[in-house]
């Protein structure tokens, strides 16, 4: 029993460290997202691409941490008696916290709240950036349509304005 408690404490400390790293990684994503918003507003396409590469690297790191967290959370759930070796569904952190000592549960609760706050902020920022990108796409479509329409109009200079001739060239409107 003492060995199980010791192992549980070790696994809980691992879980706390991984969750903290995930929270820190989320903070990095927020920082990069703010830079992305600024680059989108300034129409700095080169900077947008660089930021997106950095965000993809951070996101891959986040996925690795998530896999690690799930394994550790599974170990904690098994050691605390919430699940057995054959179960596949890992209980949520709120349920795990009920099986832990007060200090461990409090620390996990604090990190959980930080992660929820970070997640909420990331979702809001993603929506803002999605709207900015959608507006840019619509502006580009409008501009291309305007330019295409202007290019498709027959040239009227140097001819009888009453006579209409077909334009010499056409732009592919699918561009």
Amino acid 115: pLDDT: 92
Amino acid 101: pLDDT: 87
- Residuewise pLDDT in 10s, the chain (175 residues): 566 677 888 999 999 999 999 999 999 999 999 999 999 888 888 998 999 999 999 999 999 999 999 999 999 999 888 888 888 888 888 888 888 889 999 999 999 999 999 999 999 999 998 998 898 889 888 888 888 877 777 665 655 555 555 555 555 555 5
Would you kindly state where each structural domain of the chain is located, as residue ranges? 2-125
Amino acid 163: pLDDT: 55
Asked if 69 and 15 count as a contact pair (C-beta separation under 8 A), the reply is: yes
CB atoms closer than 10 angstroms to residue 19? 22
Amino acid 44: pLDDT: 87
Amino acid 124: pLDDT: 94
Alpha carbon distance 55, 89 (integer Å): 30
Reported residue count of the chain is 175
Asked if 39 and 134 count as a contact pair (C-beta separation under 8 A), the reply is: no
CB atoms closer than 10 angstroms to residue 118? 18
């Amino acid at each position: 029993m003492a060995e199980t408690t010791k192992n549980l404490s070790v696994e809980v400390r691992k879980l706390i460290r991984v969750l903290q790293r995930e929270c820190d990684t989320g903070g990095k994503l927020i920082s990069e997202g703010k830079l992305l918003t600024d680059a989108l507003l300034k129409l700095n396409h080169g900077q947008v691409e660089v930021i997106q590469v950095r965000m993809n690297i951070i996101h891959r790191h986040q996925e690795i941490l998530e896999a690690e967290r799930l394994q550790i959370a599974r170990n904690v759930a098994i050691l605390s008696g919430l699940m057995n070796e054959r179960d596949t569904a890992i209980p949520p952190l709120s349920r795990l916290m009920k099986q832990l000592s007060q200090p461990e549960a409090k620390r996990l609760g604090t990190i959980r709240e930080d992660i929820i706050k970070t997640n909420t902020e990331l979702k809001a920022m993603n929506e803002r950036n999605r709207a900015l990108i959608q507006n840019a796409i619509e502006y580009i479509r409008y501009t291309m349509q305007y330019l295409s329409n202007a290019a498709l109009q027959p040239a009227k200079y140097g001819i009888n304005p009453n006579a209409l001739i077909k334009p010499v060239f056409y732009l592919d409107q699918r561009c």
